Chains A and B, each alone.
Chain A
Amino acid sequence: MKNEIKKNRIKFGITQEELAEKVGVRRETIVFLEQGKYNPSLKLALNIAKELKTPIDKLFSLS
C-alpha cells in the first residue's frame, strides 16, 4: 500500500512527532507508515486523513 502522508505532512508544516501526538500513536509508527512498512488500521488512517485535511483515498492507495 502506498501513501502520501509525508508529502501532505510537509505541506502542512507539521513534524512526525506532532502528527503522532494528534492521532494518538508513537512517532515510530508514523516513521514506519511514511516508509510504507506498516499498514494502518482504518481508524488510524481516518484520523491521519482528518488531521492532514486530505480525503483518505488521496492519502492511501494500493500499489
Chain B
Amino acid sequence: MTLKTYNKIKLGIVVITTFIFSQFLVLRNFFIPIMVLGLSSFTLFYLRKKVIEVVADERDYQIGGKSALLAIQLTSWIGVIIMFILYALSNANPFYQPIAMTLAFSVCILMITYSFIFKYYSKHNPKDEKRD
C-alpha cells in the first residue's frame, strides 16, 4: 500500500469514527463509541504496517517536536488567560468558578506531563533506538 492510499483511508476512517462517536454520545450510548474507537485505532495500526514507503522520517519528528512544544505553550497561555477571565467573572456567575478550576488543573497536568516526558526522553531516547 502506498502512503497516499493510506492517508486517504485514514481520513475516511477519522471522519466516520468522529460521526459515529458524536452521534452515539448524544444518544448517551457509551459502549458503541468505545468499540468504534478501538476498532478504528486497530485498523489504522494494521494499515500503517502495510505501508511500504517511509511514513515519517527524522525531519517529520523534528517538525513534530517543535509543533508539539508550540501547541503546548499556546494552549497553556490561552488556558491561563481564560481561567483569569472566568475567575474575575465568577462573582457575577458562580458557575464560572468550576470551569476556571478545571482549566487551571488541565494546564498544570499538561505542563507536568510534558516535563516528565521531556526528562524521560532526554535520558533514554527510546524512539531513536527503535528507529535505528
Contacts and interface: CB of A to CB of B under 8 A. Distances in A.
B129 interface: no
- Residue with the highest number of chain B CB atoms closer than 10 Å, among A20, A26, A38: A26
B59 A20 contact: no
B58 A20 contact: no
A12 interface: no
Interface string A5-20: 0000000000000001
Contacts of A38: 59
A3 to B, nearest CB: 15
A24 B57 contact: yes
Nearest to A37: B59
Given A24-B54, A29-B59, A43-B132, 14 more contacts: A21-B54, A24-B57, A25-B57, A25-B58, A25-B59, A26-B53, A26-B56, A26-B57, A26-B60, A29-B58, A32-B59, A38-B59, A41-B58, A44-B58
